[in-house]
C-alpha cells in the first residue's frame, strides 16, 4: 500500500474510488469501522492501519469516506489525527465513532492509552478539533488499574427519547449517560452485567423494533457476538455469535446500521495483508438480516 495515496495531493482534494466487493477499500488499510447514516449518505469512519510487517498496531490518524450506493466512494482529506489530541500525542488512533447532534458531528475516539477523547466538527467530513483539551473519560473512569487498555472502543447511541449513551471498554463493558452538550458525562460510570458471556471489546449499540442490541467482540482471536435487552441498561440476554474470525485478523470490530431500508454489518478482516501479522486490516460490508423473532441471522461474510 503506497503511503502516497493516503495523503491527497492538495489539502482539499477528495479521492473517488469504486469498491469491487470485499474488502471495500484496497488502496490503504482500514479498521474499526463506524458508520453514520445521514439522509441518503452513509458516512464511514475508520481507523487507519499501516502496511504489513508491523509487530503491533501503528495507527496515527482516522479516515472518513462517504457513499450513496455502497459502491462509489469518496475519501476526504485526513480529518483527525492522534496528534490533534495534545494530551494523547504518543498514543494510537484506535476505534472510534461519530454521532450527529446539535447541528454538529462528535467523534469519540480511543487514544490508547490516555483515555477516550471527543472531537467536534461542523461537517461530517471534518476537519475535527479536540472538543475538550482533555480526555472525556480518563483511565481512572475506566478503572484502568486492571490493565492499561481498558479505556478503549467508545460507541455512542442516541435513544428515541434524546438521551445519549456512551459504551466502551476492554474485558469489561462500561457505559454512562452523556449530557445534551455531548462532551460531558452525566452521572456515574456503570458496568454491563455480562453473566454468561465473554466480552473482549468493540461494543456497538443499535435498536430494532424497540429492542436494544449490544454487539461486541468476544474471545481472541475475536468473533462478534450480540446480546439483547428491553431496556438500554439491561439485563442483556446473550444471543450468540454473529460472525466467525475474520480471515487472518485477530481482531474483529463491527458497526451495524440501517441504510436505505436494509441493514448492514460492517467489519474488518485481514484479506489483503501480506505479512500475516494481523495489524493491517481492511473494512468489509455484508448484509445483516433478522429472523421474525428479532434475532439476527448469522452473518455470511462474502467477497462480494
Q: Is 31 in the site for ligand FUB (CB under 6 A)?
A: yes
Q: Return the residue of 29, 43, 45, 57 that touches ligand FUB, per CB under 6 A.
A: 57
Give the residue with the Cβ less far from ligand FUB, 159 or 220: 220
* Active site annotation includes 75: no
Q: Is 32 in the site for ligand FUB (CB under 6 A)?
A: yes
Which residue is it, cell 469498491?
Answer: 19
Give the residue with the Cβ less far from ligand FUB, 97 or 251: 251
- Nearest approach, Cβ of residue 102 and ligand FUB (Å): 26
Q: Return the residue of 19, 22, 67, 110 that touches ligand FUB, per CB under 6 A.
A: 110
Lateral strand order in the sheet of 262-269: 255-259, 262-269, 282-288
- CB neighbour list of residue 165: distance below 8 Å, 6 or more residues apart: 156, 157, 158, 159, 175, 176, 177, 178, 205, 232
* Active site annotation includes 160: no
- Nearest approach, Cβ of residue 18 and ligand FUB (Å): 26
Q: Return the residue of 201, 226, 246, 277 that touches ligand FUB, per CB under 6 A.
A: 201
Q: Using alpha carbons only, what angle is made at residue 45 by residues 222 and 112, rounded to the nearest 5 degrees?
A: 60
Question: In the range 237-256, which residues lie near ligand FUB by CB under 6 A?
Answer: 251, 253
Q: Using alpha carbons only, what angle is made at residue 31 by residues 128 and 78, rounded to the nearest 5 degrees?
A: 30
Which candidate in 28, 32, 92, 125 is catalytic? 32
Grid cell of 109 as nine digits: 475516539
- How many Å apart are CA 68 and CA 39, to the nearest integer? 9
Grid cell of 18 as nine digits: 469504486
- Nearest approach, Cβ of residue 221 and ligand FUB (Å): 11
- Three-class secondary structure of residue 289 per DSSP: coil
Q: Return the residue of 82, 118, 120, 152 that touches ligand FUB, per CB under 6 A.
A: 152
DSSP state of 114: S
- Does residue 46 contact residue 63 with C-beta atoms inside 8 Å? yes
The kind and range of the H/E element at 110 are strand 104-110
Which candidate in 49, 130, 201, 222 is catalytic? 201
- Nearest approach, Cβ of residue 210 and ligand FUB (Å): 28
Q: Is 225 in the site for ligand FUB (CB under 6 A)?
A: no
- Nearest approach, Cβ of residue 93 and ligand FUB (Å): 8
- How many Å apart are CA 251 and CA 245, to the nearest integer? 8
Binding residue count for ligand FUB, defined by CB under 6 A: 13
Q: Return the residue of 80, 151, 176, 202 that touches ligand FUB, per CB under 6 A.
A: 202
- Nearest approach, Cβ of residue 203 and ligand FUB (Å): 9
Phi, psi of 244 (to 5 degrees): -85, 175
Q: Is 47 in the site for ligand FUB (CB under 6 A)?
A: yes
- How many Å apart are CA 149 and CA 139, to the nearest integer? 8
Q: Is 95 in the site for ligand FUB (CB under 6 A)?
A: yes
Grid cell of 147 as nine digits: 490493565
Give me the active site residues, please: 32, 201
Per CB under 6 A, residues contacting ligand FUB are 31-32, 47, 57, 94-95, 110, 152-153, 201-202, 251, 253
Amino acid at each position: 500500500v503506497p503511503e502516497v495515496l493516503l495523503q491527497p495531493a492538495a489539502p482539499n482534494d477528495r479521492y473517488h474510488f469504486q469498491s469491487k466487493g470485499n474488502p471495500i477499500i484496497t488502496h490503504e488499510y482500514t479498521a474499526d469501522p463506524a458508520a453514520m447514516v445521514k439522509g441518503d449518505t452513509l458516512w464511514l469512519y475508520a481507523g487507519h492501519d499501516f502496511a504489513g510487517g508491523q509487530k503491533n498496531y501503528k495507527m496515527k490518524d482516522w479516515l472518513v469516506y462517504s457513499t450513496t450506493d455502497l459502491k462509489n466512494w469518496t475519501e476526504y482529506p485526513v480529518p483527525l489525527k492522534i496528534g490533534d489530541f495534545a494530551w494523547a500525542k504518543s498514543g494510537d488512533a484506535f476505534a472510534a465513532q461519530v454521532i450527529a447532534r446539535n447541528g454538529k458531528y462528535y467523534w469519540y475516539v480511543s487514544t490508547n492509552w490516555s483515555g477516550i477523547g471527543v472531537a467536534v466538527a461542523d461537517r461530517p467530513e471534518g476537519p475535527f478539533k479536540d472538543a475538550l483539551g482533555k480526555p472525556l473519560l480518563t483511565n481512572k473512569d475506566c478503572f484502568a488499574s486492571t490493565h492499561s487498555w481498558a479505556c478503549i472502543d467508545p460507541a455512542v447511541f442516541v435513544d428515541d427519547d434524546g438521551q445519549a449513551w456512551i459504551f466502551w471498554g476492554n474485558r469489561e463493558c462500561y457505559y454512562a449517560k452523556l449530557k445534551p452538550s455531548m462532551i460531558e458525562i452525566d452521572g456515574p460510570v456503570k458496568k454491563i452485567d455480562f453473566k454468561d458471556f465473554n466480552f473482549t471489546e468493540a461494543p456497538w449499540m443499535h435498536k430494532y423494533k424497540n429492542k436494544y442490541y449490544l454487539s461486541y467482540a468476544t474471545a481472541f482471536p475475536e468473533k462478534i457476538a450480540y446480546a439483547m435487552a428491553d431496556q438500554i441498561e439491561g439485563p442483556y440476554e446473550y444471543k450468540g455469535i454473529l460472525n466467525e474470525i475474520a480471515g487472518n485478523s485477530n481482531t474483529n470490530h463491527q458497526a451495524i446500521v440501517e441504510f436505505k431500508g436494509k441493514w448492514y454489518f460492517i467489519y474488518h478482516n485481514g484479506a489483503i495483508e501480506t505479512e500475516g501479522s494481523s495489524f493491517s486490516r481492511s473494512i468489509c460490508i455484508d448484509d445483516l438480516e433478522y429472523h421474525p423473532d428479532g434475532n439476527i441471522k448469522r452473518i455470511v461474510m462474502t467477497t462480494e
